[in-house]
Amino acid sequence: MMNAKDGREPLLRCSVRLAFLGLVWAIAQGCDSSRTPVTPDEGEPRMAAIHGVVLTAGSPVSGAQIVLDGPGITRSVTTGTDGTFRFADLPPGLYVMRVSNGTCTSTTADMEAGETVTTSIDCASPPLTTTLRGTVTVSETPLGGVQVTLTGATFNTGAEVERAVLTDATGRFTFAQVGEGAYTLTAQAPDLACETTAVHVQDASQPATANISCAEEIGDGTTPPPMDKAGKIAFERNGRIMILDLDTSNLFHFVDGLAPSWSPDGGQIVFQRPGCPDRSLPPYFDCDDVWKVNADGSGLSPITSYEWVLDYDPVWSPDGSKVAFIRFVHGIDDTYLVIANADSPPPLWAEQVTSSWWPISAPTWSPDGTRIAFTCQGPPPRWEFDICVVSSTGNIGYSGNGLRPVEKITNDTWTNSEPAWSPDGARIAFATDRETPGRTYVALIRPNGSGFERLVMGRSPAWSPDGRRIVFVAGADAPAGLYIVNADGSGLTRITENPADTAPSWGR
């Protein structure tokens, strides 16, 4: 009896014989195992391939996503650590390769059947960025939870930027990946006025720092009650002071002089009066004095009367007891901001508030009488004009002894001049060509320099006593004369047409 093993052995011997006979037959037919296999049929397309590398400034870029668009297909791959990529099994045709996440050139390849193309994609170096850090404080105390907004544009592309962050518990804020450019920082804090800070990031290889100071709003922001009547506007015309009664439209020559300023109650005008013809000084010396006169034309009298000095741009204090003005002293060629009693002439050097080698002009009082804003000019090479603020109270002195520190509330490359403090204390109107070179506008700003708002083209602004309107001198592109506009920029009205009209002051 045959077992399973005995049955398999004849079968195995048969299979070996058959395999051997097949190999012999194949050799007899001329087969050679070293030859290339038979190619596909001529009708079947041969596939192409693309090998490439992504470079930035000659260095490979890893992790870049490459998108390939071709005849009926779209594929994507990611470059390796050596910056290389590969697309295989591509039918013949025109292909476009691009990097989806970078500033890179696109590359094309017109592929033939079975072809392998080697290419490269060049990417621009990413712009340098830095970190901008700072602190928001009020009276040197950090403010946490305050929103800080960064706006501006980059230098290289001009791309506009607007981002916002919150300060931490220590008042600090951080903006990451800030490119080289010109920016503005603003902060919003309840019941506080925060300065606007200009930031120029010139070198992104270095971290940037900018701080923001906040202060309590001056005044309660409440507009005084409306006037019973429109009031009167005094202004200068060819060396004469004119008065326009807005209620009757009556215009008349009041007195010879310059730079009129109404008293708070509308009962007097203080002005600048030429004094040289009565003196022995050389004719090229200006030596104007400050005078006052009652609104009915009576009581004409000097407040200052000194040789070798030029007193100009007088303005009443809010309580009507004092007058601030600018004094230029011939010989030493110094310019001073001076406060004088309205009822008696001061000693030559009394109540001097500031001293400057550079011109200053156009003082204006805060409505609470504690500060004075004025136009100040910086030293060369910039010679910039800015709005400065100084305390009107405290110790006073001469030649730096007790003179009060001056704060610039504008500090830029533009011309900022002729400030006028609003009756509610919340804003200062001034003339500026900020961001509009060659064109001067009346603009508004908070007393700490924040909240810039361009209002209307013109200069020499003056507020109405109720703070609802502003009178100003026409801009270069407008018909000449004086105009009135509402504090929100609406209701523009022309009130005079003489191109010589300037230096308006609005009284009750």
Closest CA to 48 of 86, 80, 85: 86
Separation of alpha carbons 336 and 373, rounded Å: 13
pLDDT band at residue 478, thresholds of 50, 70 and 90?
confident
Closest CA to 164 of 136, 187, 190: 187
On the question of pLDDT at 24 being above 50, the answer is no
Position 13 scores a pLDDT of 47
Residues 6+ apart with CB under 8 A from 370: 391, 392, 393
What CATH homologous superfamily does 232-507 map to? Answer: TolB, C-terminal domain (2.120.10.30)
CATH 3.30.420.240 fits 129-216, yes or no: no
Q: Identify the architecture of domain 48-123 in CATH.
A: Sandwich (2.60)
Domain segments of the chain as ranges? 48-123, 129-216, 232-507
Whether the Cβ atoms of residue 402 and residue 430 lie closer than 8 Å to each other: no
Position 245 scores a pLDDT of 95
Name the pTM for this structure. 0.58
Closest CA to 311 of 256, 270, 283: 270
Closest CA to 504 of 487, 488, 489, 484: 484
Strand partners, 416: 432
Position 254 scores a pLDDT of 93
Write the pLDDT tens digit of every residue in 339-365.
888 886 555 444 555 555 577 899 999
Position 287 scores a pLDDT of 65
Residue 483 Cα distances to 160, 218, 251, 493, angstroms: 36, 28, 15, 5
421-446 mean pLDDT:
91
Whether the Cβ atoms of residue 324 and residue 314 lie closer than 8 Å to each other: yes
Closest CA to 52 of 33, 29, 80: 80
Q: Annotate 83-149 with three-state secondary structure.
A: CEEEEEEECCEEEEEEECCCCECCEEEEECCCCEEEEEEEECCCCCEEEEEEEEEECCEECCCCEEE
Separation of alpha carbons 473 and 497, rounded Å: 10
Whether the Cβ atoms of residue 352 and residue 331 lie closer than 8 Å to each other: no
Other C-beta atoms lying within 10 Å of the C-beta of residue 206: 10
**Lowest mean pLDDT segment, chosen from 124-138, 242-256, 487-501:** 124-138
* 129-216 shares the fold of 48-123: yes
